[in-house]
């Protein structure tokens, strides 16, 4: 389903869409549930015939023959329930997996701006906790409704053949019962959504606390962090209290109705026996059907609870799926074809929100194979400028073109596959060094990975580790030094070998000697390619073809290192200030 389809369809239609993806298992589950319910209906009916006819007439052969058939039917019922339990739950898991995969894929389509404004813990809760109850809802929901409807309707029809006045009492009590439970269920669903939001807040707080555990310890603020988490847990406890209160009301009302139905039937049936309008066998049969009737009522109650929890998760799932990604490929988007690698910014303006403008009417031409250094004070727009090229964000005005092709007219996958980025904030996956480097080009051989590591000046470090390239780097690379993490990220780019390079403070975590050694490898990689370098350490960009100075979202100076020093402007001020600090 597309985002537009999610926006136009109800939650029930969305749910049925996922059920029908596995309609074979769905039909099997429903058929087995139907047959099991039918067997439950037969036993009281056969018991009535036995008490009224076979036993009084001493038709023992017919009696034991039918009882044998009933026993076989109950064996079949057990087999049917096995199918319902195993394959039904298997069906539910498949539905949950489809929903989770679609949700993750949809979240992947969101632009950087979405992740800037939504916390990781909240998204984790949407992908994990919110979907757990959908398994039970997908399996037990339709099944419980079918069994309940078959049993209730079948029971009413059969008891009507015994005594229509008793059947009429049940027909009157059932709607009253349903209306009361429906109102309680709606309240329970509202509270369930609050519980899920509480779980999401706990997940968010856990993610934040665990990620910042080192910082909390460094400032000896463990007690403060514990207090924050305690407040979140207390709020969750209040949400759960309301949920269990609704559940208690629901169950108490349900049990009352189940009991009162038996009492009403027994009283009215006893009165009819006194009047000679009903015999004991029919009343016993009627009571057996009442017991059979109560079981589906309980299933409806179970369904109400499943629906309250499952539909809350489904609603939160649909809420995200209805969000339209702001950065999409055009319908006629074509793959990016790079011949020279020239990049042009034409009257580009960009802002993260309406109150803060980052780039203002910026114009810049980068020739193919040229190395451009972008410098300036923090917050001036250097990183934003480079993040617009791979279209991590969309510009507000103007255009960005690569070899004359607007980045908005080509597919995002082809655009990003031809741009190599080493960012200041290096992210490593919780895997081995080998696989973290290979991420630059999936399918690369071990030899190619090793060669990339050599060019990134990380090979010797890796070989000195006990497990070599099979060394586990830890969560976010915590088992490595900052310089090692950054050199692994650089090795990824050597392996990717893209025509356009963006180095965003790529050597900021390296010592001067290692930086000097790796700089020659960068020069080799940048040869014949378009390269943008963002650097605070100005000594590393002297060989750049041009240096662009950005301040306040605009280019204020442009030229070579010597030309800019001669101007004695903003660049010279930055350079001289840094030189004083270095000395």
In this predicted model, what pLDDT tens digit does every residue of 362-417 receive, in sequence order?
898 988 888 888 888 777 778 888 888 988 888 888 999 998 899 999 998 889 88
In this predicted model, what pLDDT tens digit does every residue of 474-505 receive, in sequence order?
877 778 877 788 888 888 888 888 899 888 87
Whether pLDDT at 583 is above 60? no
- Which pTM value belongs to this model? 0.70
In sequence order, the 6+-apart residues with CB closer than 8 A to the CB of 579 are: none
Predicted local distance difference test score (pLDDT) of residue 355: 63
Mean pLDDT of 76-93: 86
Show the domains of the chain with their CATH numbers: 3-321 (1.20.1560.10), 332-418+501-512+529-583 (3.40.50.300), 427-497 (3.40.50.300)
Q: Helix or strand or coil: residue 209? A: helix
Q: What is the DSSP string of 452-471?
A: HHHHTT-HHHHHTSTTGGG-
Question: Is the alpha carbon torsion for 525, 530, 534, 539 positive or negative?
Answer: positive
In this predicted model, what pLDDT tens digit does every residue of 238-257 receive, in sequence order?
777 877 787 787 778 777 87
Yes or no: say if 225 and 216 are a contact pair by the CB < 8 Å rule: yes
The band of 427, judged by pLDDT with boundaries at 50, 70 and 90, is: confident
Q: What percent of the chain has pLDDT over 70?
A: 87
How far apart CA 539 and CA 582 sit, in angstroms, is 10
Yes or no: say if 549 and 516 are a contact pair by the CB < 8 Å rule: no
Whether pLDDT at 165 is above 70? yes
Whether pLDDT at 517 is above 70? no
Predicted local distance difference test score (pLDDT) of residue 79: 92
Six-digit token string for 186: 């709606």
In this predicted model, what pLDDT tens digit does every residue of 318-357 receive, in sequence order?
888 888 888 888 888 889 888 888 999 999 888 877 666 6
């Amino acid at each position: 389903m597309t985002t537009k389809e999610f926006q136009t369809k109800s939650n029930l239609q969305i749910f049925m869409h996922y059920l029908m993806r596995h309609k074979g298992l769905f039909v099997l589950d429903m058929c087995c549930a139907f047959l099991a319910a039918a067997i439950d209906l037969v036993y009281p009916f056969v018991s009535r015939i036995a008490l009224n006819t076979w036993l009084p007439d001493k038709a023992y052969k017919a009696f034991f023959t039918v009882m044998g058939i009933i026993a076989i039917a109950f064996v079949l019922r057990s087999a049917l329930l096995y199918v319902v339990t195993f394959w039904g739950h298997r069906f539910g898991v498949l539905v949950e997996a489809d929903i989770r995969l679609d949700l993750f894929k949809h979240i992947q389509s969101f632009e950087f701006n979405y992740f800037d404004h939504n916390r990781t813990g909240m998204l984790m809760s949407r992908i994990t906790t919110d979907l757990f109850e959908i398994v039970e809802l997908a399996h037990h929901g339709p099944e419980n409704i079918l069994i309940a409807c078959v049993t209730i309707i079948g029971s009413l029809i059969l008891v009507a053949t015994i005594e229509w006045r008793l059947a009429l009492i049940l027909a009157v009590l059932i709607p009253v019962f349903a209306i009361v439970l429906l109102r309680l269920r709606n309240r329970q669903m509202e509270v369930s959504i609050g519980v899920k939001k509480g779980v999401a807040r706990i997940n968010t707080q856990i993610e934040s606390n665990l990620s910042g555990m080192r910082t909390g310890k460094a400032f000896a603020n463990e007690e403060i962090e514990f207090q924050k988490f305690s407040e979140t847990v207390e709020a969750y406890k209040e949400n759960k209290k309301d949920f269990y209160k609704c559940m208690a009301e629901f169950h108490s009302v349900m049990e009352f109705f189940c009991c009162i139905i038996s009492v009403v039937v027994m009283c009215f049936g006893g009165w009819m026996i006194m009047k000679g309008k009903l015999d004991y066998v029919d009343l016993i049969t009627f009571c057996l059907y009442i017991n059979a009737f109560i079981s589906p009522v309980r299933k409806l109650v179970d369904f109400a609870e499943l629906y309250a929890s499952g539909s809350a998760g489904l609603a939160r799932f649909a809420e995200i799926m209805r969000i339209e990604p702001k950065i999409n490929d055009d319908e006629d988007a074509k793959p990016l074809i790079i011949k020279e690698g020239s990049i042009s910014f034409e009257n580009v303006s960009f802002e993260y929100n309406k109150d803060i403008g980052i780039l203002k009417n910026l114009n810049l031409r980068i020739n193919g194979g040229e190395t451009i250094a972008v410098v300036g004070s923090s917050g001036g727009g250097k990183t934003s400028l480079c993040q617009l090229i791979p279209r991590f964000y969309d510009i507000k005005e103007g255009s960005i073109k690569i070899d004359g092709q607007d980045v908005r007219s080509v597919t995002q996958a082809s655009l990003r596959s031809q741009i190599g980025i080493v960012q200041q904030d290096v992210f490593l996956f919780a895997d081995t060094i080998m696989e973290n480097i290979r991420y630059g080009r999936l399918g690369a051989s071990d030899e190619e990975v090793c060669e990339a590591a050599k060019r990134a000046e990380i090979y010797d470090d890796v070989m000195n580790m006990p497990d070599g390239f099979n060394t586990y780097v830890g969560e976010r690379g915590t088992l490595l030094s900052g310089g090692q993490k950054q050199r692994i990220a650089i090795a990824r780019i050597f392996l990717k070998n893209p025509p356009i390079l963006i180095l965003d403070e790529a050597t900021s975590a390296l010592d001067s000697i290692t930086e000097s050694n790796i700089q020659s490898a960068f020069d080799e990689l940048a040869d014949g390619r378009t390269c943008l370098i963002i650097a605070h350490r100005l000594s590393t960009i002297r060989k750049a073809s041009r240096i662009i100075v950005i301040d306040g979202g605009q280019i204020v100076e442009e030229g070579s290192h010597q030309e800019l020093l001669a101007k004695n402007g903003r660049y010279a001020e930055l350079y001289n200030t840094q030189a004083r600090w270095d000395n």
